[in-house]
Amino acid sequence: MKVMEGEELASARRRKGITQQQLSLKLPISRESIAKYETGRQRFPKDLRALTAEAIDDEEYYFVRWNESAGDVSIPYLNGEFIEHHPTAMMLLVKKESLEALEHLEKACWYKPVKSQSDTEREEMKKVAFEVLDAAASMINLVALISKEYQFSMIQIFKQWRLTLKARRLQK
């Protein structure tokens, strides 16, 4: 595990108010091993990453784990200087980004086969993808913020949501 990854683990643990000892009791590893992972003196076993994320259940840490497993094909944790981590501010961002995405969806050429589209139409479709990603990122970050503010377990929110997807036949 790189030092930066270890620092992320330590930060997540501290945000949740969990000591290394408490975390070690939730996982099949010692407190000493956790200390080594956090300082970068020992590589973090890949098979423990999901278990550790669930044991800590920290919203920001889920984004880190997602990025580590999927690389650039993941939703980032929004923490830039223009992000206000307040539920109302995030809700307004979701609304803004969603409206922008819908506007681009309506402008895009959906009636022509892809092979028949002009370069301009193809570029508009790429803009659609970017706008949809902006909306998705703001929405997932709002879910994380709601989980944090209301002290919901993000893992439980996702597990319950996945059950509804199956019940509505949106996922097998």
pLDDT tens digits, one per residue of 41-67: 999 888 999 999 999 999 999 999 998
Q: Which two tokens mark 133?
A: 């990603």
pLDDT band of residue 5 (cuts 50, 70, 90) is confident
> What DSSP assignment string belongs to 29-83?
S-HHHHHHHHHTSSPPPGGGHHHHHHHH--HHHHHHHHHHHHTTSSPPP--STT-
For the chain, give every domain's residue range: 3-70, 87-167
| Average confidence (pLDDT) over 20-43 | 95
pTM, to two decimals? 0.86
Say if residue 1's pLDDT is above 60.
no
Give me the architecture of the 3-70 domain, per CATH: Orthogonal Bundle (1.10)
pLDDT of residue 71: 85
